[in-house]
Structures are given as C-alpha cells and as structure tokens.
Structure 1
Amino acid sequence: MAGRVVLITGAAQGLGLATARLAAACGASGVCLVDRDGDKGAAAAAELSESCECLFVRCDVKSPAEISAAVEAADARFGRIDALVNAAGDTRRAEIDETTAALWDELHAVNLRAPFLFTQAVARIMRRQGRGGAIVNVASVQANGGLTSCMAYAASKGGLLTLTRNNAAALGRDGIRVNALNMGWCSTANEHALQLSLGQGEDWLKQADRASTLGRICRPEDVASAILFLLSGAHTTGSVLELHPEHIPGMLGAGIGKAK
C-alpha cells in the first residue's frame, strides 16, 4: 500500500476501521474514512492521523448526493484515489412476512446501490489518473441463500457479487481490479449487540469459536488482512475470496450448520 490513497466506507468501527488501520500500517499515504457516525469517525481519523494523512467524511451511504460529495472531498484532499473498499453494510433481519418494501429498499440502498455509486465515482478518478486501481466489495456467505431471517440482506449481497463480476469486466481494460470478499460470522461490537438482542448469552462468542472449523470465527483483523491482500496487487479480478471458517461449502457435520 506504500504511497497509495484508499477510501473506505463504514470505516468508523468494526472491520472498516480495522482495514483502515492495517492500510496505514502497510504504508498508505492517505486514508479517507467514510461513515455516518460523526463522533466515531472523528475519533478514528484522529487516531490514524498519527500514521498517515487521514480525512473523515460524514456520509449517509443511502444518499447518492452524499456519496458524490464524499468522493469529491477525497479527490480534493488527496488528488488521487488508488483503492476503494465498500465495507458499509446494513444487516437488519426480517422473515419474509415481516420484510416491508421500505426495509427491502433501505438494505439494497446500503448494501448494493452504494457500492455501485462509489465504484462509479471512484472509477472515473482512477481512469483520469491512468494508473489503474483496486476495489474490494465486502459481501457475505449469505449471498448463497442465507438465513430465512436475512432474506433481503442475502438478496442484496447476492446482487453485490454479480455487481463485482460485471464491474470487473467493465473496468479491467483500465487496469482496475474489482474483487469481493465473501465473509462469514465476524466478532464485532455490532455483532455482539445483535446476538444479545436475539437472546444469546454473553458467552455466544466462545460457543461460536468452539464450533468453527479453525477454532474461532473471524475477527475484524482477519477481514482486514484479506481485504489488503486483494488490494495489494493480487493479479485477479472478478474473484470472490471465501472467508468463513465456520462454514465449509458442501460439508455437513458437527458444528455450525449441522444437519438435523
């Protein structure tokens, strides 16, 4: 990442912030943090400013106008954007009979339309620079079908995988690589709050780790490492990197997903 500028959405906390920290540690010259949480975003920017030039832009990614303004602010500050990470996501749950049109639209606005709009705007800058670039979309194993309680979320992530492949084909001749990370269960502050709201005990993480093939589910730092691998020069585009040690596709057995 030496000398490169990266824009990260959903960067005020969780895996977005972990990615920003690792990008700075790997030599990024500039990091643009995009998030709707002004307080956490400002705190994250203050922390990262000790390692590299950092800009925080408050942005509701459901708003096309705010997305355009965020990319313009990054371009004005750094004069370039070399990498984009679409990490912002809405994970709200609802069964099919509980899913309203409004919830469906909001989930797709955050999880699918926003990555498209950020990619569209950033790709124009990358083309102008003529140096190529790298884009990583954070998807989910639920894109393969998912929990019934995550129908709208799963559909939006399935669309994100298709968007990734289509954009990879469209931008490849410009030297812009577009890949996705198909991640699974990750221990974050938001996930902890969700598990408690679903009636799980404080020890849910210990149980999840015990059931995982590799002995623990993902942490934000694991996700950040995979994202940086895809950003750093891996000669691939339109690829989906699987990152869900709690679930091995096609396998049935002990642990999470055990057939009943």
Structure 2
Amino acid sequence: MSIGITNLEGRHALVTGASGGIGVAIAEALVHAGAKVTLTGRDSDRLGQRTRHLPADSVWLVGDFDVTDPEGVIRGAEAAHAGFGPIDILVNNAGEAPSASFEKTSAAMWNKVIATDLTSVFLVTQAFLPDLKAGGAGGRIINIASTAGLTGYRYVSAYAAAKHGVVGLTRSLALELARSGITVNAVCPGFTDTPLIGRAVAEIVNKTGRSADEARADLARANPQGRLVDPKEVADAVLWLAGPGASAITGQAIAVAGGEVLAG
C-alpha cells in the first residue's frame, strides 16, 4: 500500500478526530492522493495548529465538532457541506482510551468512552450516509477501531468493549450496504506511536515507577515485530480501502499490528 498508487482526485473525504496523531497522518495521505478533505475536531485551535502544513485549497476545517452530540453532528455535517459539498469517503477516527482497572472504572468513565468511541460512529455515519448513497457505488466508510476490538487488554475494559462494538457495527453495516457498492471496513491499529501512547507511557511511569523507555518497550513487546506502529502505516491502510482497488473489500477488520492479531 502506498500513497503513490491511489488516486482520489475529485473525491471528498471527511475525517473525525483529525487533530490526533493517526488523524493527521490519514489527512496527509488523503490530501497527497488528491482528495479534498474535511477535517473535524472538538478543539478548533488544536485542529488548526496540527493541520496548518496542509494545502489550504485541499482542506476544510470544522471545529467544535462533538461526535457524541447528535445535534452537534448535524451542525457539523452542514458545516462540512459548506466547504466541498457532499462526501464520498467517511473516516470515523475520533476516540479516546482512558486506563483503569475494571473495579475502578466508574459508570461515568464507561459511558463517556462508549459515547466517544462507539456511539459516535453510529451518529456520524448516520448523518453522512445520505451523501454516500446519493453518490452511488464507490462510497467508503472506514472506521478506525483497534486491536482491542479483536482481542482483550487489561485495564481498558470500556475501550475494548467500545472497539468490539465498532467492529460489529462495521460488519453489520457492510452487509446492509453491500448491494449499493458502498464498502464499510475497520482498520485496527496495534500500539501506535502517537500522543495517545505518550499519555499511556506517562501513566505507566506514574503508577509503576518504571522509566519512560521501559514503559515504551513494554508496549512495543506486544507487537511481534518488537516496535510501535507508525501512524503513516495506519494511514496507508485507510488510503488503500478508500481507493477503487478495494471495491471488493467490505466488512473486514484489518489489523495493522505487526502480527499481534493473526485473525480478525
């Protein structure tokens, strides 16, 4: 998979959670492939700072986009249309992954993670599905899940439950839309070298007293290749799924994890 292979000229993609490490990498890949890209996020200032290196004529920013708020999502859809019109490619990337033992996971934390990581995919997809259907065959829905949606991890039960839900929603919607030519897939990164991992490392250091290097090494050991995934590798998987060469790929949960998960 390579940015140079996929041509997305004339296509309009929307990426939620676009100010995070994976979101920025996806935005870069889509823009470099020729797509017009709407980038959304809750923090308008951060969204602008993280994406200011992208060409202004190829990106449209929609800040204050709260993926957990049904009315906010509708307003965000209207704002997205004001830039490049209806979308052809939807990338549901927004999410968070707080850590706590199951016994210390509060109902408030549980509800917030489910809302941010799972319900958001339902709300945003439902808001933009009319665009994709109106565009006919070739529409793409790509959900950024996680290897936590294919297996289990300690201390992130809410996150794992939400990402399993994303994979299930992906598979169900893929079957519903199969005859329309719209494909629905999930990309499931393993531990990826992003600011989110930086926060996880800091939490491990705080709780265990180990050094940051030791904490990062522990996370990397989950990957049989002995390393963290590069966000650009996740973006390459998204780019492939967004292109015409993946028109027969739907309902799949593709792990980008160096062999950590061998069956989805």
Q: Same fold by TM-score, threshold 0.5 exceeded?
A: yes
Aligned-pair identity in percent equals: 35
What secondary structure is seen at the aligned counterpart in 2 of 1:2? coil
Q: Higher RCO, 1 or 2 (CA under 8 Å, sep at least 6)?
A: 2
Q: Which runs of 4+ in 1 moved over 3 A?
A: 204-212
Q: Which residue of 1 aligns with 2:20?
A: 13
Q: Which residue of 2 aligns with 1:90?
A: 96
Which deviates further from its counterpart, 211-220 or 138-147?
211-220
Which deviates further from its counterpart, 133-142 or 38-47?
38-47
Q: Which residue of 2 aligns with 1:224?
A: 235
Q: C-alpha displacement at 1:95, in angstroms?
A: 1.5
Instruction: State the distance in 2 between where 1:221 and 1:132 align.
Output: 24
User: 1:193-247: CA deviations, max 9, x gaps?
Assistant: 2212211423244565577433422011111111111111212110111111162
Q: 1:211 to 1:88 in 2, by over 3 A?
A: closer
What secondary structure is seen at the aligned counterpart in 2 of 1:130? coil
Instruction: State the distance in 2 between where 1:246 and 1:127 align.
Output: 35
Coordinate RMSD, CA, aligned: 2.0
Q: 1:89 to 1:37 in 2, by over 3 A?
A: same
Correspondence for 2:212 among 202, 208, 214: 202
Q: Would you say 1:213 and 2:218 are equivalent positions?
A: no
User: 1:145-184: CA deviations, max 9, x gaps?
Assistant: 4223111110111111110011111122222100001211
Instruction: State the distance in 2 between where 1:187 and 1:169 align.
Output: 33
Q: Which residue of 1 aligns with 2:122?
A: 116
**8 Å Cα contact 2:15/2:92 also seen in 1:** yes
What secondary structure is seen at the aligned counterpart in 1 of 2:225? coil
Q: Which residue of 1 aligns with 2:11?
A: 4
**8 Å Cα contact 1:45/1:54 also seen in 2:** no
Q: Which residue of 1 aligns with 2:256?
A: 243
Q: Which residue of 2 aligns with 1:71?
A: 77
What secondary structure is seen at the aligned counterpart in 2 of 1:182? strand
**8 Å Cα contact 1:211/1:246 also seen in 2:** no
**8 Å Cα contact 1:6/1:83 also seen in 2:** yes
Q: C-alpha displacement at 1:64, in angstroms?
A: 1.2
What secondary structure is seen at the aligned counterpart in 2 of 1:135? strand
| 1:241 alignment partner AA | I
TM-score, normalised to structure 2's length? 0.87
Q: C-alpha displacement at 1:131, in angstroms?
A: 4.5
**8 Å Cα contact 2:202/2:212 also seen in 1:** yes
Q: 1:74 to 1:139 in 2, by over 3 A?
A: same
Instruction: State the distance in 1 between where 2:197 and 2:34 align.
Output: 30
Instruction: State the distance in 2 between where 1:31 and 1:72 align.
Output: 15
Structure 2 unaligned regions, length at least 5: 1-7
Q: Would you say 1:99 and 2:105 are equivalent positions?
A: yes
Q: C-alpha displacement at 1:45, in angstroms?
A: 4.3
Q: Would you say 1:25 and 2:38 are equivalent positions?
A: no
Report the number of matched residues.
Answer: 249
TM-score, normalised to structure 1's length? 0.88
Instruction: State the distance in 2 between where 1:93 and 1:211 align.
Output: 17
Q: Which residue of 1 aligns with 2:3?
A: none
Structure 1 unaligned regions, length at least 5: 251-260
Q: Which residue of 1 aligns with 2:64?
A: 58
What secondary structure is seen at the aligned counterpart in 2 of 1:245? coil
Q: 1:212 to 1:152 in 2, by over 3 A?
A: closer
Instruction: State the distance in 2 between where 1:49 and 1:63 align.
Output: 29
What secondary structure is seen at the aligned counterpart in 2 of 1:23? helix
Q: Which residue of 1 aligns with 2:177?
A: 171
